[in-house]
Amino acid sequence: MKHFCIFTNPHKDRDLAVTNKIKAYLESRQIKYSLRITDEDNISDEADVILVLGGDGTMLNAAREIKGRKNIPLLGINLGTLGYLAEVEPDKTKEAIDKVLAGEYELESRMMIGGTILRAGEKVITDRALNDVVIRRVGTQQVMVFNLYVNRKLLNRYQADGIIITTPTGSTGYNLSAGGPIVEPSARLLVVTPICPHTMIQRSIVLSENDVVEIEIPAGREGQIQNAVVSFDGYAEELVTGDSVRIVKADFTTDFIKIGKAGFLETLHRKMSENS
């Protein structure tokens, strides 16, 4: 690794104390670095690794910003609560940097999904997500109707507040809050979970990584126009009756640098212990 990009969430590192300590340490090791602190800052094309200072949300933002670039691995410095993506605590940052420089780490590849908004059969917007694609109703309107197609065949018609299509990485986020299953993050599959469905039985659907999922916004009750929002890791676009969102496994991944021996199950145990 020859060039580090320090990707800082200024709301988490308010006085840039952690950022400045990392800068000073890299300078002492004569290692090149660049900064990404505001939205106006770009990730350097020279970057070999991105040190992400923040929480899981900051990790998602960093993953979005390397879209279209070489697959630059991310190493999360946790400045939030105990999450699932940011591995290194601030007091272990120098040790982690030393291990990266010495090549003493593993790369963990995470599946991503791509989503395309279709309007009158034409592609309108294409985006991607590391965590999830969420389609939900707008405002206080009545429960919405969603048609779920898998491989172009109608699988189910939901009356719900929304639908989540999640990757294994995103299974511990909104999907979990909506009653969906926890999935080991190195798995390769898709999970579809309805949000507050109007039924006595709520079930998630686990699909193959190669399945094509399409969520259609049909006319509502008595032919009402339905308005919805689709978000790709929180970045939202509007939908109306007749629109659909097609979701597939992306042809690229996000790589995470793993320093410690603690795996996903150990982190999950700690999270569950907090809430027990």
What are the pLDDT tens digits along the chain (276 aa)?
A: 689 999 999 999 999 999 999 999 999 999 999 999 998 898 988 999 999 999 999 999 999 888 766 789 999 999 987 678 888 989 999 999 999 999 999 999 999 999 999 999 899 999 999 999 999 988 766 788 999 999 999 999 999 999 999 999 999 999 999 999 999 998 999 999 999 998 877 789 999 999 999 999 998 777 788 889 999 999 999 999 999 999 999 988 999 999 876 666 676 666 666 665
Q: Report the Cα 73 to chain-centroid distance in Å.
A: 15
pLDDT at res. 86: 85
Residues contacting residue 128 through CB under 8 Å, at least 6 positions apart? 64, 67, 112, 113, 114, 115, 232, 250, 252
pLDDT at res. 141: 62
User: Is residue 243 annotated as part of the catalytic site, yes or no?
Assistant: no
Q: How far apart, in whole angstroms, are the C-alpha atoms of residue 42 and residue 143?
A: 41
- 15, 39, 45, 56: the catalytic one is 56
Q: Report the Cα 22 to chain-centroid distance in Å.
A: 26
Q: How far apart, in whole angstroms, are the C-alpha atoms of residue 177 and residue 256?
A: 24
Instruction: List domains and CATH numbers for the chain.
Output: 3-105+259-274 (3.40.50.10330), 113-251 (2.60.200.30)
